[in-house]
Amino acid sequence: MPVEISEEQRFTRYDAEELTILCGDFFDLSINDLRMISAIYDRASLIALPPEIRKRYVQHLMTIVPDNTEILLVTMEYPEEEMNGPPFAVIENEIRGLYADQKRVDLLSEYDVLGGNSRFKERGLTSMIEKVYRISN
């Protein structure tokens, strides 16, 4: 797929057919940058952030996305005393606390993924559960 690359003031922009990727600082995104989206797939953003930044991340996200935007969020839960992230453990209660004021949080699935991740076993984990949430109005 041919890609057109352009440098903007805050981002490097990659355009290909109906797909646009903005590469830069998340906290520089504005509502104008995301006015045309209807869904977000968060596979590794929230779990990459230390606890002290997560609330700021979610608050900023909620101010820049259109009201009816749905989020598919993937998190990891594991005994935090066994490993320092990233990825960081983000437990269900925290997810509900971060989003519950503005959105509905539905747990769609959870899987034990430690068996397929030998690098996490090597880091000392005894359990690793991947959880998938739908966050919507």
* Domains of the chain and any CATH numbers: 1-30 (no CATH), 35-136 (3.40.50.150)
The pLDDT score that the predictor gives to residue 79 is 96
CB atoms within 10 A of CB 21: 12
Give the whole-angstrom CA distance, residue 129 versus residue 76.
6
pLDDT band (50, 70, 90) for residue 73: very high
Largest pairwise CA distance in the chain: 46
Share of the chain above pLDDT 90, in %: 88
For residue 99, the surrounding DSSP H or E stretch is: helix 92-99
pLDDT in tens, 19-67: 889 999 999 999 999 998 999 999 999 999 999 999 999 999 999 999 9
The pLDDT score that the predictor gives to residue 74 is 98
Tokens found for residue 131: 């959880």
On the question of a cis peptide bond just before residue 79, with omega within 30 degrees of 0, the verdict is no
- pTM above threshold 0.85: yes
The pLDDT score that the predictor gives to residue 100 is 85
Residues 6+ apart with CB under 8 A from 54: 46, 90, 94, 98
What is each CA distance from 89 to 36, 81, 133, in whole angstroms? 31, 10, 15
Cα 60 from chain centre:
13
For residue 11, the surrounding DSSP H or E stretch is: none
The pLDDT score that the predictor gives to residue 102 is 85
pLDDT band (50, 70, 90) for residue 69: very high
pLDDT in tens, 92-130: 999 999 998 889 999 999 999 999 889 999 999 999 999
Give just the sign of the alpha carbon dihedral 14, 46, 108, 63: negative
The pLDDT score that the predictor gives to residue 101 is 85
